[in-house]
Structure 1
Amino acid sequence: MFYRIINSLEESIIALLLAAMTLLVFVEVVLRFGFGQGLMWAQELTLHLSAWMVLFGASYGIKVGSHIGVDALVKVLPLTARRIVSGIAVLACLTYCGLFSKGAWVYLAKMYKIGIELDDMPVPKWIAHSILLIGMILMAIRLIILLWAIITGKADGFNLADEAKESMHLIQQAKAEADNGGDPA
């Protein structure tokens, strides 16, 4: 239940951030080049929206396996060794998330204490930059789920994107289409 709520919320937020950022950039371009006017705060908001999207996306990428990894050596290891190495890698990632979260907490606490706002918008900086902590917590949750899957034998490592395999599939698909006279089979 908790996992489904996080998935749904994460996907919805990423879609909303992408739509908002796209619409904002479109409006800014039309105003700037069509009317010689612009929104003073648009660039800063676009920057923050993209940062939020990246950090939500990093967590989501762990879930769907869209991160690229260098795992040629790990793939040739026996299953038990592969699970051990993957577990160590997940623990290293969790350590990174913990260190980054601690730093983000200290930074956000200082921004809250001194009350600095963004340059072009009346938004407290600690709120705008809170994605640093939120993103790391979401990634840690995904990594803990992955670690549990490795421990229980449901996974043998990270579900990483395999660009070489995908490229070979695209080449084979293009050849098949060429052999069929351009019709996808």
Structure 2
Amino acid sequence: MIIKNFIERFEEGCISALLVAMTLLVFVEVVLRFGFGMGILWIGELTQTISAWFVLFGMSYGLKVGAHIGVDALVRLLPRTARRICTTVAVLIGLTYCGLLMYGGWVYIGKLHMIGLEMQDLPLPKWSVTSILLVGFALMALRLLHLLWEVIRGTADGFSHIDEVRESLQLADHRPSLKLDAALGERA
């Protein structure tokens, strides 16, 4: 439990820091470019790198909070045991995907390290910046392993997705104008 909490705090902290850094860099670049007619050469590359890191940290966090799109209308109709089996198969496919990308990332990063390439505008070795591939997919694999463990224990029977339909209906129930429109429609 301590490790899980540490990983979650680490993930949230990194995502927050990356979002703040990216926002500030873009703001500075826009002010310099449109306010003073100049720019800083390396800001574009750094912003692009931070954006990639943000996405790779975010995919794992998205799995945690249920933000990924889930097409599970058919799976929801299945009995609990069948849902658990479908979830297990999906998790195993996801773990295979993570494993393949981590292996490919390891080979790619190793070649970048061996060649000694640097970033185009930043004085950083490209392998160090690209190492987020390993970190991002390792975090994703940990999330999938945690879900698999919950399915095996019987505490989960599927991925947690945000139910857009239910959420929209709940939002509609809280808007007074929609209730008034519905009431007027019923009288007519």
* Superposition TM-score tier, normalisation by shorter sequence: over 0.9
Q: What is the one-letter code of the residue matched to 1:132?
A: L
- What percentage of aligned pairs have identical amino acids? 57
The structural deviation recorded for 1:41 is 0.7
**C-alpha RMSD of the superposition:** 1.2
**3-state DSSP of counterpart to 1:86:** helix
The CA distance in 1 between the partners of 2:69 and 2:132, in whole Å, is 23
Gap runs ≥5 in structure 1:
180-185
**Residue of structure 1 in register with 2:183 after alignment:** none
The CA distance in 2 between the partners of 1:107 and 1:121, in whole Å, is 20
**Residue of structure 1 in register with 2:51 after alignment:** 50
**3-state DSSP of counterpart to 1:14:** helix
Structure ID, larger Rg: 2
Residues 110 and 127 of structure 2 are in contact (CA less than 8 Å); yes or no, is this contact kept in structure 1? Answer: yes
The structural deviation recorded for 1:175 is 4.2
Number of residues paired by the alignment? Answer: 179
**Residue of structure 1 in register with 2:33 after alignment:** 32
More helix by share: 2
**3-state DSSP of counterpart to 2:175:** helix
The structural deviation recorded for 1:63 is 1.0
The CA distance in 1 between the partners of 2:116 and 2:104, in whole Å, is 18
The CA distance in 2 between the partners of 1:114 and 1:108, in whole Å, is 10
Residues 10 and 60 of structure 1 are in contact (CA less than 8 Å); yes or no, is this contact kept in structure 2? Answer: yes
The structural deviation recorded for 1:171 is 2.0
The structural deviation recorded for 1:172 is 2.1
**Residue of structure 2 in register with 1:182 after alignment:** none
TM-score, normalization: structure 1? 0.93
The CA distance in 1 between the partners of 2:88 and 2:117, in whole Å, is 41
1:28-75 Cα offsets, whole Å, 9 max, x none, are: 000000011101011111111011011101001111111111000110
**3-state DSSP of counterpart to 1:158:** coil
Distance 1:87 1:172, change over 3 A: same
